[in-house]
Amino acid sequence: MVEVGWRFLPGAGRFGYSNDSVTSVTPRHLSIVLPIHNEEENLRPLLAEIEEVLDASGHTYEVIAIDDGSSDGSRALLRQLVTEKPYLKSVFFRHNYGQAAAFDAGFRSAGGDIVITMDADLQNDPHDIPKMIALLDEGYDFVAGNRAVRNDDLFLRTLPSRIANFLIRRITHTKLRDLGCSLKVYRREISDELRLYGEMHRFISVLAEGVGARTAEVIVNHRRRRAGKSKYGLLRTFKVLLDLVTVWFMRGYQTKPIYVFGGIGSMLVLSSMVMIATVAYQKFVHGIYVHLQPLFIVGMLFAVLGVQFVGMGLIAELLIRVYFESHQRPSYHIAERLGFASTRGGGGRAIENLPERLSS
């Protein structure tokens, strides 16, 4: 292996190159994604710490700060910092859309071959990044941090999060244990395929497994928030539970909703047939009339519900087709393509030229 040192050199293009720090790591281009909502006091110290770690790491890097509708001085400070720091890029949201939206915007803007997400409040420690990248070299596609010792409020943050983690693990069968840690390292192909909505940043690990990423988890340092306030309270746990239902459904049945709805519908119709048969038997053999037989009403109710479920399944099938075709995304995830002009990029690129074909 050629042993060269890579690091960011101001003025040498987005990713600089230098021979002066010789290290044995495989040089990578990193994109650090920072979601920022009112983190004015944390920004400078955080960037300083990132510089300190990454300049010595042998990698080149860019930092993409996503300002998620801050109302303190974060916005003005970011404008200032972008002029000072050549590695820094910034995206400003018009409103506060949430951390998931910020990550998503970061994924769409990343130019490196490795994407790293972390909190901008100094709770995650940039010193953990190099060892996580080393795991990608071992063949993993996605490495999540695990905050073995959490420095957050026990009843408001840590306990609800433990319960949510437990439920999510049970329902989604994910192997990872700490789902809420923002410090995560992705191969670009993986982050390119993730689309985040609502509070879905909690489920990134599950979604990454869903697109077939080889995943690993490492213990990372977690520090107490020194400046600014936490943006989340107990309400989030309830949102997370609703998102959990979505993730379970999307992950398992996204491409075949009729299996879920049709399955439930068929069960309902079948049991209603058994009930109605029982009612008919009792009427003709024992002379019991339907107004004395509650099973009749239950049977009719199940029949109506069953038919509706099958109908919903068919509508969901239509929606799935509209979804995949309007986004021009296939319903499968390609790990690699060999022998084509460009081997990079599986996923949605296979039908890239569809609009031209349609419009010509």
Least separation in angstroms between CB 201 and ligand UDP: 8
**Residues 41, 42, 47: CA angle, nearest 5 degrees:** 130
Residue type, 17: Y
Distance CA 195, CA 241 (A): 19
Secondary structure class of 358 (helix, strand, coil): helix
Please, which residue, 96 or 146, has the CB nearer to ligand UDP?
Answer: 96
**Residue 162 binds: one of ligand UDP, Mg ion, none (C-beta under 5 to 8 A by kind):** none
Task: At 201, list the tokens.
Answer: 């940043």
Task: Please give the C-alpha separations between residue 40 and each of 76, 82, 233, in angstroms, as whole numbers.
Answer: 9, 14, 21
Distance CA 147, CA 150 (A): 6
Among 39, 68, 121, 199, binds Mg ion (CB under 5 A): 121
**Residues contributing to the site for ligand UDP (CB under 6 A):** 35-37, 39, 68, 96, 98-99, 102, 119-121, 123, 157, 230-232
Least separation in angstroms between CB 248 and Mg ion: 27
Q: What is the DSSP string of 13-28?
A: -SS---SSS--SSPP-
Please, which residue, 39 or 104, has the CB nearer to ligand UDP?
Answer: 39
**Residue 37 binds: one of Mg ion, ligand UDP, none (C-beta under 5 to 8 A by kind):** ligand UDP
Least separation in angstroms between CB 145 and ligand UDP: 12
**Residues 137, 140, 144: CA angle, nearest 5 degrees:** 110
Q: What is the DSSP letter of 33?
A: E
Q: What is the DSSP letter of 201?
A: G
Binding segment (CB under 5 A) for Mg ion, from list 6-14, 17-25, 123-131, 183-191: 123-131
Task: At 270, list the tokens.
Answer: 């079948």
Please, which residue, 170 or 229, has the CB nearer to ligand UDP?
Answer: 229
Binding segment (CB under 5 A) for Mg ion, from list 68-76, 121-129, 246-254, 267-275: 121-129
Please, which residue, 37 or 251, has the CB nearer to ligand UDP?
Answer: 37
Least separation in angstroms between CB 151 and ligand UDP: 10
Binding segment (CB under 5 A) for Mg ion, from list 119-127, 166-174, 277-285, 308-316: 119-127
Contact present, 190 and 208 (Cβ < 8 Å): yes
Among residue numbers 258 through 277, which ones bind Mg ion (CB under 5 A)? none
Least separation in angstroms between CB 119 and ligand UDP: 4
Least separation in angstroms between CB 232 and Mg ion: 8
**Residue 164 binds: one of ligand UDP, Mg ion, none (C-beta under 5 to 8 A by kind):** none
Q: How far does CA 256 lie from the centroid of its chain?
A: 21
Least separation in angstroms between CB 124 and Mg ion: 8
Distance CA 12, CA 26 (A): 20
**Residue 43 binds: one of Mg ion, ligand UDP, none (C-beta under 5 to 8 A by kind):** none
61: β partners: 30
Please, which residue, 147 or 187, has the CB nearer to Mg ion?
Answer: 147
**Residue 89 binds: one of Mg ion, ligand UDP, none (C-beta under 5 to 8 A by kind):** none
Distance CA 106, CA 196 (A): 11
Contact present, 208 and 142 (Cβ < 8 Å): yes
Binding mask 232-251 for Mg ion (x = CB under 5 A): --------------------
Question: With the C-alpha atoms ordered 196, 198, 201, 205, is the resulting torsion angle positive or negative?
Answer: negative
Q: Is 123 in the site for Mg ion (CB under 5 A)?
A: yes
Under the rule (CB under 5 A), what is the footprint of Mg ion? 119, 121, 123
